[in-house]
Every structure is written in C-alpha cells, then in structure tokens.
Structure 1
C-alpha cells in the first residue's frame, strides 16, 4: 500500500516513532483541551488544573519545537530538495503536521509570559483556548490526509485492489 511520508514516519521504528511523533503530542493536546474546558467553565485560574494546563502547554511547546526542528532537518528539507514528495496529499499531510508548531509554541510563549503580557487573564484564557483549537484542527487535517493513499492526488492508479486481497 502507498503511504504518505507522515504515515511512513509513524509506521517506522515501532513503537517509538508512533509514541514520539503522535502519542506524546496528542496526549498533551488532550490534556490541554480537557483542562482548558474545565478552566473556562469554572474560571478558576489558580488551582492544580491551571498548573497542569500551564506545565503541559510549556512542555508541549518545547517538545514540539524539537520535533519540528528534527523533521525539518531530516525529512522536510531533504524531501523538498530531492523532489521526493508523493504528490499534493503527501505535502498537505506533512505541512499540517508541522503547522502544529504555531499553536504549541504559541501556548508555551503565552504560558511563560513572553507574549500578550498586557492582556487580562480572561483574554489570555481565550487566546490559549484558540491555540488549543488550532492545534486540534491542524493535527486532525494532518491525520486525515496522512491516511489517504497519496497516489489518489497524482492521477496515478494504485495497484492496490481490495477485492483481490
């Protein structure tokens, strides 16, 4: 079966790549989303849940920055320079995965007080929730396109026939 580079990355070196590139970022996003909802409903900005949210946001930002740098150097730039993309579906899957850097790093910088310093706590809470939402959207687009046979977007026919398996 033809796979995007995104799915190939997750399938290689099992289970480590799946854990490093998928499980850790998604678990962080889930912790952030669930704690964010609870904080938004309770408006409790000083409890253990807020601390968990903040620590997770900072960790996720720096963790995903490491992933971003690693994949840019070892995959994205070489694939681009060598013309090894498997079509537009492959490009969409990888680019949307890498776009996760924007919301994750944004959350870390917000939680560290490096951006939006002059905003009220409620405004910062809204910005944080927006970052969480953006990450969930780009991650899901990456996952959806990552699971598509990349030859569907190139006009090539796949030799994969479900009826003859």
Structure 2
C-alpha cells in the first residue's frame, strides 16, 4: 500500500518523528482544550490556570511555527506530490500552524492587545477550534492510500514505489 508524505513523515525515524510532529503538538493542544473548558465554564480569565494556559499557548504556537519553518524549508521543496490526498494532508498539517501562531501572538499581546480578557478567550477558543478541525483533515487524508484519490505510483524496473509488485 502506498502512503502520503504525512504518514511517511510520522512513520520515519520511529519514535522520534511521531513524538516531534504528532505527540508534542497534540498533547499541548489537548491540554489547552481542557484548560479552556475549565476557564470558560468558570468564566474566570485570571489566576494560576490562566497563566499556565497562556504559557502553553505561547509554547505551542512557537513550537508549531518551528515545525512549519523546518518542513516548509527542508521538506516541502523536495516533495513529489502523491496526488490530492497528499496535498490535502500535508497542506492541512502546515495550515494548522496558522491558528496556533495566532494564539501565541494573542497571548504575547502582539495581536488583540485592546481586546478584553473575555474577547481574547473567544478568539483563543475559535483559533483552537480551527486548529483541531484542520489537523483532523490532515489526519484523515494523511491516512488515506493516495491511490484511492487517483495517484498512480511510478513504475521502476518492474517494481512500484514502496516495494509493491504488479497486481497487488
């Protein structure tokens, strides 16, 4: 079975790529979601939990900005696309960093500085929701065999890419 570059990236250098590109950002995002629910439920936008929430948002945004730069400069220019599923998976993964960077900018006061604490939490919630939706698009299309969406592996000396034989 063929795989998208998204899945190939996660599968390579086990377990390090999985940890770097999936576990760390998803764990931080899920921690943010949990803290966000508590903060919004209590309608308290200050205190220790809010400070931890703020730091986690900044760390996650800066971390994912680094991933975007690294993949965008070192990996993306060398890709030979494996059809629409590959483009959707990789593109969505990289696009997911935009709301995270916006969260970091919001938390650092670079963006939304005049907004009230409640308005900032609203922006934070919307940005985090956008991140979760976009990353789920990346995961769904990343797990798809790209041949399902029309990509055909190149033939090379009787073998297909990834060691597949004719007729499989």
The offset of 1:95, in angstroms, is 0.3
1:119 aligns with 2:115: yes
Hey, what does 2:59 align to over in structure 1?
59
Match of 1:85 in 2: 81
Unaligned runs of 5+ in 2: 154-159
2:104 is aligned with 1:108: yes
Whole-Å Cα distance in 1 between the matches of residues 49 and 137 of structure 2? 28
Q: Deviations over 1:42-94 (max 9, x none)?
A: 01112221111101100001100110000011111222xxxx10001000000
Instruction: Give the match for residue 149 of structure 1.
Output: 145
Q: Does 1:17 find its partner at 2:17?
A: yes
CA distance in 1, matches of 2:143, 2:67: 20
Deviation for aligned residue 1:155: 5.7
Q: Which residue of 2 aligns with 1:29?
A: 29
User: Residue 68 of structure 2: SS of its match in structure 1?
Assistant: helix
Q: Which residue of 2 aligns with 1:76?
A: 76
Distance 2:89 2:151 in 1: 18
Query: 2:83·2:151 contact (CA, 8 Å) conserved in 1?
Result: no
Which residues of structure 1 form unaligned runs of 5+?
Answer: none
Provide the C-alpha distance between the structure 2 equivalents of 1:67 and 1:43, rounded to a whole number of angstroms.
33
Report the TM-score, using the length of structure 1 for normalisation. Answer: 0.90
Return the alpha-carbon distance in structure 2 between the equivalents of residues 29 and 155 of structure 1: 32
Match of 2:124 in 1: 128
